[in-house]
Structure 1
Amino acid sequence: MPHGPAEVGVGPWEGEWPTGEQYDAGLLRGGDRRNVVDRYRYWSLEAIVADLDTRRHSFHVAIENWQHDFNIGTIVRTANAFLAAEVHIVGNRRWNRRGAMVTDRYQHVRHHADVAALASYLHGLEHPVRLLGIDNLPGSLHLETMAMPERVCFLFGQEGPGLSEQAREVCDGTFSIAQFGSTRSINASAAAAIAMHSWVRLYADLSGDAAWRG
């Protein structure tokens, strides 16, 4: 179109339909306007999740949800982009999904009543996962120089107060992100993206078609 925003996705499939259980007849017939990479065009939701499950990374992300923080949805969206194993919501079961942009449908999201329950779950997995909180507290390790474990869960507190007292007591450790300006802290969703990408740089397979780059 010469004016206005470009259409998202693709229209109805032209020509003979492809065969395969992954394809959704409704999408082939009506078009696929979802915000998914080209690999998954016309695939059903279930088929996409099943394929993602074969490639998920070994890091988890957890967010404390005491104040219905708007950052939670954005963190879920980023966790989907970097293919986290699971996203954990701690505290209130209901959370603001607007920022997730529907990506929570493709991401395993698990709820825990409190941080102690989260820690128990992670430590009890077949391959235990360390729980590391992010907060610029005295004694926190430096993200830029720390030895990041491959099996890790990044825990983020609410915007403003940061990690709760219970979280600080239960975490296996905390780390901080280097800052050089006048503000005391950075946005929680930005901090989450930095932490997840730091993991990706260390452990993700960046060769071939393993990573989508557009």
Structure 2
Amino acid sequence: MPHGRPEVGVGPWEGEWPEGEHWDPELLRDGDRRNVVDRYRYWTLDAIVADLDTRRHGFHVAIENWQHDFNIGTIVRTANAFLAAEVHIVGNRRWNRRGAMVTDRYQHVRHHDDAAALATYLHALEQPVRLLGIDNLPGSAHLETMELPRDVCFLFGQEGPGLSEQARGVCDGTFSIAQFGSTRSINASSAAAIAMHSWIREYADLGGADAWRG
């Protein structure tokens, strides 16, 4: 870049510092270069998470992690953008966080040994959550015409093989996304974004101040 990289965020606070426990003294002093919306500039991480917790949506997102799929980080980042209730990692505990761009710090991320454990957790919640897998399987509902549950967890498999056999067995249902080209499937992170946004279109409050568009 001939002019260097553009600075992200804001510099040190100018003038008298504001009062309140949600302000971070180090950020006020040094500036806030994090990738957060303006309403959270200079806030502590804990304060941001606490505020997000008052507004989280009713959908969850789960990803099977058997091959350290690079899509996981991107799915977590999208879950943060659409304010998912929780993100669930199924399988290996360690996952590639690079694509998350630090957004996992603002999400509640849970680990489950397998899909059966995930299903048990979701069904036992005070408000039970249905587990819907996404895969191009015979008998899968069509995302474009189905009625999405408000309390739902979208489960995505690994890139390539899709949902594991065990995951298919414990899902309350599966759905697919309509495609019209020559490829058999679309990228897992893209499919996740489409599913989450479908929930947003149906249930989120798009007219309030909490929805921002940059």
Query: What's the TM-score bracket when you normalise by the shorter of the two chains?
Result: over 0.9
Letter aligned with residue 55 of structure 2: R
> Where does residue 95 of structure 1 map in the other structure?
95
Letter aligned with residue 177 of structure 1: I
What TM-score comes out, normalization by structure 1 length? 0.99
> Where does residue 38 of structure 1 map in the other structure?
38
Q: 1:208 deviation in Å? A: 2.7
Q: C-alpha distance in 1, partners of 2:200/2:33?
A: 28
> Where does residue 59 of structure 1 map in the other structure?
59
**Moved >4 Å (runs of 4+):** none
> Where does residue 164 of structure 2 map in the other structure?
164
What TM-score comes out, normalization by structure 2 length? 0.99
- Match of 1:111, SS? strand
User: How many residues are treated as equivalent by the alignment?
Assistant: 213
Letter aligned with residue 134 of structure 1: I
> Where does residue 125 of structure 2 map in the other structure?
125
Q: C-alpha distance in 1, partners of 2:92/2:5?
A: 37
Q: 1:20 deviation in Å? A: 1.1
> Where does residue 27 of structure 1 map in the other structure?
27
Letter aligned with residue 156 of structure 1: F
Q: Structure 1: which 5+ runs fail to align? A: none
Q: C-alpha distance in 1, partners of 2:205/2:160?
A: 35
Letter aligned with residue 106 of structure 1: Y
Q: C-alpha distance in 2, partners of 1:211/1:102?
A: 21
> Where does residue 116 of structure 2 map in the other structure?
116
Q: 1:4 deviation in Å? A: 1.9
Letter aligned with residue 82 of structure 1: F
Q: C-alpha distance in 1, partners of 2:59/2:70?
A: 22
Q: C-alpha distance in 1, partners of 2:136/2:114?
A: 22
Q: C-alpha distance in 1, partners of 2:208/2:121?
A: 34
1:95-135 CA-to-partner distances (Å, cap 9, x unmatched) read: 00000000000000000000000000000000000000000
> Where does residue 196 of structure 2 map in the other structure?
196
> Where does residue 48 of structure 2 map in the other structure?
48
Q: C-alpha distance in 2, partners of 1:210/1:18?
A: 23
Q: 1:6 deviation in Å? A: 1.2
- Match of 2:61, SS? strand
Q: C-alpha distance in 1, partners of 2:208/2:57?
A: 17
Q: Structure 2: which 5+ runs fail to align? A: none
Q: 1:156 deviation in Å? A: 0.1
Q: 1:5 deviation in Å? A: 2.2
Q: 1:141 deviation in Å? A: 0.1
Query: What is the CA RMSD across the aligned residues, in angstroms?
Result: 0.7
Letter aligned with residue 163 of structure 1: L
- Match of 1:169, SS? helix
- Match of 1:29, SS? helix
